[in-house]
Chains A and B, each alone.
Chain A
Amino acid sequence: MRCISSKVYNLSSKEEFVNNAKAGKILARKCAKCGYLHLATTYFCQNCGNKGFENVLIEGKGKVVTYTIITVPPAGYEKYTPYAWVVIKLDQADLQVSGFMQNITSPSDLPLGAKTKVAGYDERGMLLEKL
């Protein structure tokens, strides 16, 4: 985990979050007052209410907390079905993220706790892969 800027940001940016996910990183915001970490789409600190954040870039690696394998998909996901939607806990921060994972057809393909990484971002959302 490293700070990439000392500048205090007031606005979040989904575009920045997406661009970092494409590079395998999670863009987080660290409260300038209390240090509490949030994903980059937060404007005020959930812990202390402060508005100032500094951007923090976190390695997109973590372990599976839970997931589902979807067989009845929403529109646009038919051609990818079945697929998994997965929540992971990042190794380097007290943060969870979630995303889309292809090539999971049975629970035996993905034990809870399995090592995963952020592998990109496209029309399917944030992409996760098994390590």
Chain B
Amino acid sequence: MEKVCVIGAGSTKYGKLQDSITDIAVQSSVEAIESAGIEPKELQAGYISNVFGIADKQVHLGPVIMSNLGISEVPSLSIESACGSGSVSFREAYANVAAGFYDAVLATGVEKVTHTGTEWTTTYFSYCSDFFYEGGAGASFPGLFASMARAYLAEFKATEEDLAMVAVKNHDNGFANPKAHLRKKITVDDVMKSAVVASPLKLYDCCPFSDGASTVILCSEKFAKEHSKNYIQVIGSGRGGSPAALQGREHITTIPSTKIAAQAAYKMAGITPKDVDFAEVHDCFTIAELVDTEDLGFFEKGKAVEAVRQGMTKLNGEISINPSGGLKSKGHPIGATGIGQVVEVFDQLTGKAGERTVKDAKIGLTHNFGATGASCAVHIFKSV
């Protein structure tokens, strides 16, 4: 296998955007191409992750984006894996470069849904569940994670205030991120007083519905060396699956696909969780970050809550979790999120993260899943 590097990255602001889905996808793509210092004609394939293009009247986004970049002849692939679409797309891009099919490819993730309103998004997002058992019985996504939360709080004697501390921490990080959707600091009291969406989760336990696009350029190590001094290397890639419905899981408070993907990625990278300096994890709801950081092996089962209480996961704590602000504060344009996480790792490991820089970081991890973790991908990167 070829060694694979990330040589460029770009992202729109996340939030409520006015431009079309195509426009924002092209904006992040152009930024990434320019950041890589390459010509579009050097790209040999495009991997485009998106879930609800239909909401902005554009599916089959790949050829449209390629045409806008002046490379209509370049093949592209559109990828949907619910909220994990970005990382799954990154994995396919990675695998093709690693296999030697391509020297350089673009991976763009994009979503444009905020114009549809809360009812549309709540309803359509529920189609990402195992609909026969979940969405079709009234379960919203906040509801599914709320069910995980109630089980977690009972099993590990945690409180709703503990969940709120995750939100407060991620908003602190996102406040330093100019591209974050919810760029404001909040308190535990703010979270506790916010409206209940699906008990025990309240509005501030939930990430926002966001618009946004993110792009990274992946390439072979040879291509990277020839074009730039400013790149990072992918050292681990893992994927996994879980029973699609929560009812099919032995433990409601763990996500099997995360464990499978993480073990594969750690094994490939030849590292352990202790070697990771920072991680961008899938905190679609506050409870998810607790579950994720345990399933990724950063903390023992049930211990993430104590880690949050002690501030171990804050920026430059024992392990910085979601220095970007995470899905919670940075925002969650679902097709873009997994790519946006890689943009953050690129920025962190190439000295572009500004105020939210994780000091002396050498190894970063991304963790992104679809639905309640029915699909998952984990990637590990090192500075070069």
- CB of A11, distance to nearest CB on chain B (Å): 15
Q: Which residues of A contact B119 (CB under 8 A)?
A: 74-75
Shortest distance from the beta carbon of A14 to any chain B beta carbon, whole Å: 6
Contact indicator A72/B198 (Cβ below 8 Å): yes
Asked if A35 lies at the interface with its beta carbon under 8 angstroms from chain B, I say no
Question: Are B252 and A87 in contact, CB atoms less than 8 angstroms apart?
Answer: yes
Interface hits, B145-194 → A, CB 8 Å: 146-148, 150-151, 154
Q: Does chain A have a CB within 8 A of B272?
A: no
Where chain B touches its partner, the secondary structure class is helix
Contact of A126 with B137 in the complex, beta carbons under 8 Å: yes
Give every chain A residue within 8 A of B195 (Cβ-Cβ). 71
- Contact flag A125-B138 (CB < 8 Å), given A74-B126, A75-B119, A85-B143: yes
Q: Give chain A's interface residue range (CB within 8 Å of chain B).
A: 20 to 34
Digit string of B196-207 for contact with A (CB within 8 Å is 1, else 0)? Answer: 111111000000
- Of the candidates B120, B136, B143, the one whose C-beta lies within 8 Å of that of A125 is B136
**30 examples of A-B residue contacts, CB within 8 angstroms:** A66-B148, A66-B151, A67-B147, A68-B139, A68-B150, A68-B201, A69-B199, A70-B138, A70-B139, A71-B197, A72-B142, A74-B119, A74-B126, A75-B120, A75-B122, A75-B123, A85-B137, A85-B139, A85-B143, A85-B147, A87-B147, A87-B252, A96-B247, A98-B137, A98-B247, A99-B137, A100-B137, A124-B137, A125-B136, A125-B137
Asked if B223 is at the interface of the complex by the 8 Å CB criterion, the answer is no
Quick one: which of B136, B139, B198, B247 contacts A71, CB cutoff 8 A? B198
Interface, chain B (partner A; CB < 8 A): 118-120, 122-123, 126, 132-140, 142-144, 146-148, 150-151, 154, 195-201, 245-249, 252
Residue from A69, A76, A97, A125 within 8 A of B198 (CB atoms):
A69
Cα(A126)–Cα(B147), bound, Å:
17
Q: In the complex where A65-B252, A87-B252 touch, is A74 in contact with B140 (Cβ < 8 A)?
A: yes
For the complex, is A77 an interface residue (Cβ under 8 Å from B)?
A: yes
Q: A68-B147, A107-B199 are in contact. Are A73 and B140 (CB under 8 A)?
A: yes
Which residue of chain A is the closest to B143 with respect to CB atoms? A68
Contact of A73 among B122, B132, B199, B249 (CB under 8 A): B122
Among B140, B154, B201, B246, point to the contact of A112 (Cβ < 8 A). B154
Number of A-B contacts (CB under 8 A): 105
Residues in chain A near residue B123, CB distance under 8 A: 74-76
For residue A41, CB closer than 8 A to chain B, the reply is yes
Whether, in the assembled complex, A80 has its beta carbon less than 8 Å from a beta carbon of chain B, the answer is yes
The yes or no answer to A83 lying at the interface (CB within 8 A) is yes
Chain B contacts for A124, CB-based, 8 A: 137-138
Identify A68's interface contact among B120, B133, B199, B249, CB under 8 A: B199
Given contacts A77-B138, A98-B133, A125-B138, 5 further A-B contacts (CB under 8 A): A66-B154, A85-B144, A87-B247, A100-B137, A107-B200
Most buried by B among A14, A83, A87, A96: A87
Contacts of A80 in B (CB 8 A): 138
